[in-house]
Amino acid sequence: MIPVLAIDGPSGSGKGAVGMAVAERLGWHYLDSGAVYRALGLAASWAQLACDDESRLCALAGELDLRFVREAGAAEPQVYVNGRECGVALRGPEAADAASRVAALPGVRQALLDRQRAARRPPGLVADGRDMGSHVFPDAFLKVFLTASPEVRAERRFNQLKTKGFGVTLPRLIQEIRERDERDANRAVAPLKPAQGAVVLDSSAIGLQDVIDRVLAMVSRSS
Ligand code: C5P
């Protein structure tokens, strides 16, 4: 059985940075499932589909083509959604908002399930998202639910987005994060909440390296 480490949590909890670093240390693959939902959100807005048009969105999800191409020496990979280079747009607040709207539709989640499960390849996978431990990889050997206060998460997102050149303000971001958390936590299917058996880790007052070390220690204890 190929081992999966599931890292779930809300936006700005640090799961992306932690997941990538842990995957690199272990030499495992890394799945950014949020990017899949963001890509679908962008593709839907390009196709001018309403975020509740479930049958069309399911069809779009079924044929979604998401590719990360890392050129030699580049810090960040280029991202292609359905053959179109989308630059930093995938990381922006509009893609996040569209992602969380399309992600609330059960048919869309189902249509994206096999694609996410296909990321489970030897020697192992670190999967980051909202429902990795609860739905996509319920047999993960270790489930971590990473969280932090809304203020800390908004500040982290603010710094990330500013670095990428997005014009955002902190109060607006706090508001957007609250709305997205609310939608993610209250949807009917795969709501944002710790999976059964998950270790909940609050990173509000812990530095990134410390969180990475704690997760790596949990992995050694569980293997
Ligand atoms: O993690 P990220 O902020 O990139 O995710 C964007 C949105 O995609 C989330 O707000 C959530 O609605 C959705 N998502 C999800 N399930 C996942 C990953 C992301 O519903 N496993």
3-state secondary structure of 58: helix
Q: Give the CA radius of gyration of the chain.
A: 17
Q: What is the pTM of this model?
A: 0.94
Q: Which CATH class is domain 4-222?
A: alpha beta
Distance separating alpha carbons of residues 106 and 108, to the nearest angstrom: 5
Residue whose Cα lies nearest atom 11 of ligand 1: it is: 100
Distance separating alpha carbons of residues 42 and 58, to the nearest angstrom: 14
What atom in ligand 1 is closest to the CA of residue 100?
A: 12
| CA 129 – ligand 1 centroid, Å | 6
Residues 6+ apart with CB under 8 A from 79: 35, 39, 66, 67, 68, 69, 85, 86, 87, 90
Residue whose Cα lies nearest atom 9 of ligand 1: it is: 100
| CA 214 – ligand 1 centroid, Å | 24
pLDDT in tens, the chain (223 residues): 999 999 999 989 999 999 999 999 999 999 999 999 999 999 999 999 998 999 999 999 999 999 988 888 877 788 999 999 998 899 888 999 999 999 999 999 999 999 999 999 999 999 999 999 999 999 999 999 999 998 899 999 999 889 888 888 999 889 989 998 999 889 988 899 999 999 999 999 999 999 999 999 999 999 8
The residue ranges of every structural domain in the chain are 4-222
Q: Best mutation site among 94, 100, 156, 178 for ligand 1, i.e. most ligand atoms within 8 A of its Cβ?
A: 100
Number of alpha carbons in the 13 Å side-chain half-sphere of residue 21: 14
pLDDT value, residue 216 = 98
Which amino acid, 111? A
Sheet arrangement for strand 142-147: 29-32, 125-129, 4-8, 142-147, 199-202
| CA 179 – ligand 1 centroid, Å | 13
What atom in ligand 1 is closest to the CA of residue 41?
A: 8
Which secondary-structure segment (H or E) carries 55?
helix 54-62
3-state secondary structure of 81: strand
**What is the distance in angstroms between the CA of the first residue and the CA of the last residue of the chain?**
13
Distance separating alpha carbons of residues 130 and 194, to the nearest angstrom: 9
Q: Is the CB of 176 inside a 6 Å radius of any atom of ligand 1? A: no
